A and B are shown apart, each in its own frame.
Chain A
Amino acid sequence: GAGVSQSPSNKVTEKGKDVELRCDPISGHTALYWYRQRLGQGLEFLIYFQGNSAPDKSGLPSDRFSAERTGESVSTLTIQRTQQEDSAVYLCASSRQSGGNYGYTFGSGTRLTVV
């Protein structure tokens, strides 16, 4: 697609429920990233995928968070047993490849509210 597409744009869920967020990167972009932005805070790196390589999961805050990506296609970020502190905007970005030579293109994000 022309840009990075994220869905849903907004999600309200009850505490304890599982949620799944979707990111559709730009076609041909091999690198995909998930970030979290809490209200009034900076962006926190969560996870990075590069092609079929093992993902860098070093930013995931707990084992309730997981993400998948098959090849260079769509990625899903799953949060199990959601907590109120999980409320944030979850941003996805893709890049032509990793290695720092190409910039990121971000999606518009998913605003998650846990009540």
Chain B
Amino acid sequence: KQEVTQIPAALSVPEGENLVLNCSFTDSAIYNLQWFRQDPGKGLTSLLLIQSSQREQTSGRLNASLDKSSGRSTLYIAASQPGDSATYLCAAFNQAGTALIFGKGTTLSVSS
């Protein structure tokens, strides 16, 4: 059974810092992994999707990596801004590729 863990649960940084959010998953036979952002009281916004054959994806100041052998993914945020404050969710597909299994998220606070 796929389980997804995210560390840390919460993170506070000053504006401008580079930071890394960590995600680990128990079943390395994943199809792909997706990172989302969730703002308070709102739905989820997809940030990056990494196919199982890929090792990383980049979008603007965001870079996500995937290491299937170690069961890990990281989300790197460069030059953080107060607008980056949100909860970041990592989700890995189950082995059948039918459903995303979510971690509990890392809540990021960027102060100006």
Contact = CB atoms under 8 A, between A and B. Distances in A.
Interface string A55-68: 01001000000000
Interface in A26-58: 33, 35, 41-43, 45, 48, 50, 56
B100 A108 contact: no
Given A56-B99, A91-B43, A104 B104 contact: no
B89 A100 contact: no
A23 to B, nearest CB: 12
A33 B100 contact: yes
A105 interface: yes
Contacts of B52: 100
A35 B11 CA distance: 26
B102 A103 contact: no
A106 B49 CA distance: 14
Interface in B30-44: 30-32, 34, 36, 42-44
B10 to A, nearest CB: 12
Contacts of B102: 35, 42-43, 45
Contacts of A100: 30-32, 52, 93, 97
B51 interface: yes
A108 B100 CA distance: 17
A43 B36 CA distance: 12
Interface in B83-112: 89, 91, 93, 97-105
Contacts of A1: none
A106 B89 CA distance: 13
Interface of A: 33, 35, 41-43, 45, 48, 50, 56, 59, 91, 93, 98-109
Interface of B: 30-32, 34, 36, 42-46, 49, 51-52, 89, 91, 93, 97-105
The 7 nearest A-B residue pairs measured at CB: A100-B31, A100-B97, A42-B104, A103-B49, A43-B102, A108-B43, A106-B44
